[in-house]
Structure 1
Amino acid sequence: MSTDFAPLSVLIVDDEAPARDRLRDLLGDIADTQPTRIAGMAASGVEALAVLEREPVDLVLTDIRMPAMDGIELARHLGRLPQSPAVIFTTAYDEYAVRAFELAAVDYLLKPVRAARLAEAIAKARRLRPPADEILRQMAPAIRSHFSICERGRILLVPVAEVLYLKAEQKYVVARSAEREYLLDESLVQLEDEFPERFLRIHRNCLIARHAVKGVARATTGEDGEAHWVVMLDGVPEQLPVSRRQWPAVKEALGV
């Protein structure tokens, strides 16, 4: 039975070449009812984002467990695009099934993927929006390896390990690396909750990377000349103030 559906452009993401080839073949098998066009194939989330810089797609079929960047983190980054593609997870592990099926916007295919089930998922993807970032965060098998920033319609990846501090400024969070600043459309509270081992709160508007701390000192600023504690980080010239409220916790965490 043929259909008048326009072909969806599809990116296949899986770290195993046979799995990528099988999905490609299955898409060919169901082309009469669910026409698609293969825009590319990638072995990780990082590779997938590089493909998407060259060509936007309508649908991403992605494995969950992959090196470099897993499928759930990939889906979170995709959600920041101005026109984010639909996402269908494919995996050999069923531990994510319940959470995935709770999403009205994404489907979940257990390997080995069957043609009829794939066709059903693609039909669903045609009419539904991508999953919410909060639900993806709860599904994530591990914390993110990268932050994503949408600049000029493309996703810029920033390794979390390179971020020295996170500072809330108006509607955004500034992520500072040794090279430059980036604007994250996320909340400081959420970032603190997601990365408790990596970042330490020193002020209501600032988190610092624990590994980057090179020392603390007393400083005097303001008209009243009141002394307060500041943190010094490797790689940036700023001295970041520690609030009175946070100082006991900072002192304990840094062992000073």
Structure 2
Amino acid sequence: MTATPPASPARPAETAAGSPRHVGDVMTRAVVAVGRAALFKDIVRRMAQWHVGALPVLESDGRVIGVVSEADLLPKEEFRDSDPDRLTQLRRLSDLAKAGGGRAEELMSAPAVTVRADATLAEAARIMALRHVRLLPVVNAEGVLEGVVGRGDLLTVFLRPDNDLADEVRRDVVDVLFPAPVEPVHITVAEGVVTLTGRVRDATRIPLAKRLVRGVEGVVGVDCRLTVADKD
């Protein structure tokens, strides 16, 4: 069984506020996948055809049971004409087994590391870093494939226009924390770096403002120059 991408892959959606927040907002819904019986050469052919480095492996009902990646396929070439010593055999037992595999079910990494569409982008990035994977199948509650999210998908938030970032920082951070500043809080954004200037009444809110601005999707850095007004 395979899932073949439509002619026009879906584009990442955005939330009403204009800021991608969850995996479902940036994931690729046009997915190439293989069944457990897919042959080695067919897997390689599909990777080359669709320019991907990993493919979800599906049961007949669409549930994800594993992922086969370029790393899973390379042992066949690495050990093609070698006779590994006993220490290598013990250390690379899994890779040696994959070197002899011919079908997806023998080559895949299982169980698959997956993520739900409602997971935050930060959660997906954390899973990728901790599990050392480049691609996460996105599944529903039954484990059925809904899409995939890769490292590049998570980075699309940094393509948000600077004026969009400034609007969100103003609406969700500055106007909430500093409704009556001593002087107007100015927000400038250049290449994703947000600069805040102005005088405010409550010094304790300045570190919070910096932290909240840093948490806005697409912000690269924060230069907080807010100062506290002298008390009368």
Instruction: Tell whether the structures are fold-level matches, with TM greater than 0.5.
Output: no
Normalised TM-score (structure 2): 0.32
More helix by share: 2
* Structure number with higher relative contact order (C-alpha < 8 Å, ≥ 6 residues apart): 2
The structure having more radius of gyration, on CA atoms, is 2
Normalised TM-score (structure 1): 0.30
